[in-house]
Homo-oligomer: A and B are copies of this chain.
Amino acid sequence: MQNHPHLTYLDIVSKGKELNSFLLSFFPNSKKIYVKGNYPGLKVPFREIKVSKNEREGSTLPSFFYAYDTSGSYTDPSEGVEIGKGLFPLRAEWIKQRADTEFYEGRFKGNGQIAAKQKEPAFKNGYLDPSSRMPLRAKKGKGVSQMYYAKRGIITPEMEFVAIRENLGRKDFSLRQGQGPLYRQHTGQAWGTSIPEEITPEFVRKEVAAGRAIIPSNINHPELEPMIIGRNFRVKINANIGNSAISSSMSEEVAKLLWAILWGADTVMDLSTGKNIPQIRELIIRSSPVPIGTVPIYEALEKVGGVPEELSWEIYRDTLIEQAEQGVDYFTIHAGVLLRYIPYTINRLCGIVSRGGSIMAKWCLAHHQENFLYTHFDEICEILKTYDVSVSLGDGLRPGAIADANDKAQLSELFTLGELTKKAWDHDVQVMIEGPGHIPMQLIKENMDLELKHCFEAPFYTLGPLTTDIAPGYDHITSAIGAAMIGWFGCSMLCYVTPKEHLGLPNLDDVKTGVIAYKIAAHAADLAKGFPGAQLHDNFLSDARFQFRWEDQFNLSLDPLTARQFHDENLPQPAAKNAHFCSMCGPKFCSMKITEEVLSYAKKNNLTPEDALEEGMKEKAEEFKKIKNIYI
Residues of B within 8 A of A407 (CB): 630
Q: Please give me the residue from chain B that is nearest to A339 by CB atom.
A: B615
Complex Cα spacing A420 to B460, Å: 47
If A181-B403, A527-B402 touch, whether A543 touches B441 (CB-CB below 8 Å) is no
A349 at interface by CB-CB < 8 Å: yes
A588-632, CB < 8 A from B: 588-592, 594-599, 601-602, 607-612, 615-617, 620, 623-624, 627, 630
A558 at interface by CB-CB < 8 Å: yes
- Name the one of B352, B505, B539, B566 contacting A595, with C-beta atoms under 8 angstroms: B352
A425-449, CB < 8 A from B: 438, 440-443
Residues of B within 8 A of A415 (CB): 620, 623
A226 at interface by CB-CB < 8 Å: no
- Name the one of B402, B472, B590 contacting A557, with C-beta atoms under 8 angstroms: B472
Among A415, A484, A623, max chain B CB count under 10 A is at A484
Residues of B within 8 A of A188 (CB): 442
What is the 8 Å Cβ interface bit string for chain A, positions 256-287, against chain B (1 contact, 0 not)? 00000000000000000110000000000000
Give the oligomeric copy count. Answer: 2
Contact: A181 with B586, CB < 8 Å? no
- Name the one of B181, B411, B594 contacting A358, with C-beta atoms under 8 angstroms: B594
Complex Cα spacing A185 to B473, Å: 24
If A351-B546, A542-B400 touch, whether A468 touches B617 (CB-CB below 8 Å) is no
Complex Cα spacing A602 to B409, Å: 15
Contact: B627 with A411, CB < 8 Å? yes
Residues of B within 8 A of A539 (CB): 349, 401-403, 469
Contact: A500 with B584, CB < 8 Å? yes
Contact: A472 with B349, CB < 8 Å? no
Residues of B within 8 A of A594 (CB): 308, 352, 355, 358-359, 361-362
A567 at interface by CB-CB < 8 Å: yes
A127 at interface by CB-CB < 8 Å: no
- Name the one of B412, B566, B585, B630 contacting A244, with C-beta atoms under 8 angstroms: B585
Contact: B470 with A558, CB < 8 Å? yes
Complex Cα spacing A558 to B182, Å: 40
Distance in Å from the Cβ of A472 to the closest Cβ of chain B?
4
A405 at interface by CB-CB < 8 Å: yes
A301 at interface by CB-CB < 8 Å: yes
Among A247, A502, A598, A602, max chain B CB count under 10 A is at A598
Contact: A346 with B244, CB < 8 Å? no
Residues of B within 8 A of A530 (CB): 442
**Pairs A-B, 8 closest by C-beta atoms:** A245-B586, A401-B542, A351-B595, A306-B588, A441-B528, A358-B594, A358-B591, A181-B349
The stretch from A101-109, A156-164, A474-482 touching chain B is A474-482
A331 at interface by CB-CB < 8 Å: no
If A468-B524, A473-B559, A528-B442 touch, whether A502 touches B245 (CB-CB below 8 Å) is no
A118 at interface by CB-CB < 8 Å: no
A132 at interface by CB-CB < 8 Å: no
A-B contact pairs, 12 of them (CB 8 A): A1-B1, A246-B570, A346-B602, A350-B542, A355-B591, A361-B594, A405-B630, A441-B525, A471-B558, A477-B520, A500-B584, A504-B569
Residues of B within 8 A of A440 (CB): 186, 524, 527-528, 535
What is the 8 Å Cβ interface bit string for chain A, positions 102-129, against chain B (1 contact, 0 not)? 0000000000000000000000000000
A541 at interface by CB-CB < 8 Å: yes
Q: Please give me the residue from chain B that is nearest to A405 by CB atom.
A: B186
If A527-B402, A630-B406 touch, whether A598 touches B358 (CB-CB below 8 Å) is yes
Distance in Å from the Cβ of A353 to the closest Cβ of chain B?
5
Contact: B351 with A599, CB < 8 Å? yes
A136 at interface by CB-CB < 8 Å: no
Contact: B184 with A346, CB < 8 Å? no
Q: Please give me the residue from chain B that is nearest to A244 by CB atom.
A: B586
What is the 8 Å Cβ interface bit string for chain A, positions 527-551, against chain B (1 contact, 0 not)? 1111000010111011101100000
Contact: A502 with B584, CB < 8 Å? yes
Q: Please give me the residue from chain B that is nearest to A567 by CB atom.
A: B503
A166-181, CB < 8 A from B: 180-181
Among A365, A474, A519, max chain B CB count under 10 A is at A474
Contact: B349 with A559, CB < 8 Å? no
A63 at interface by CB-CB < 8 Å: no
Complex Cα spacing A450 to B361, Å: 50
Contact: B365 with A520, CB < 8 Å? no
- Name the one of B473, B557, B584 contacting A562, with C-beta atoms under 8 angstroms: B473
Contact: A571 with B504, CB < 8 Å? yes
Contact: A558 with B474, CB < 8 Å? yes
Contact: B401 with A538, CB < 8 Å? yes
Complex Cα spacing A535 to B343, Å: 24
Residues of B within 8 A of A519 (CB): 471
A341 at interface by CB-CB < 8 Å: yes
What is the 8 Å Cβ interface bit string for chain A, positions 510-532, against chain B (1 contact, 0 not)? 00000011011101110111100
Distance in Å from the Cβ of A301 to the closest Cβ of chain B?
7
Distance in Å from the Cβ of A181 to the closest Cβ of chain B?
4
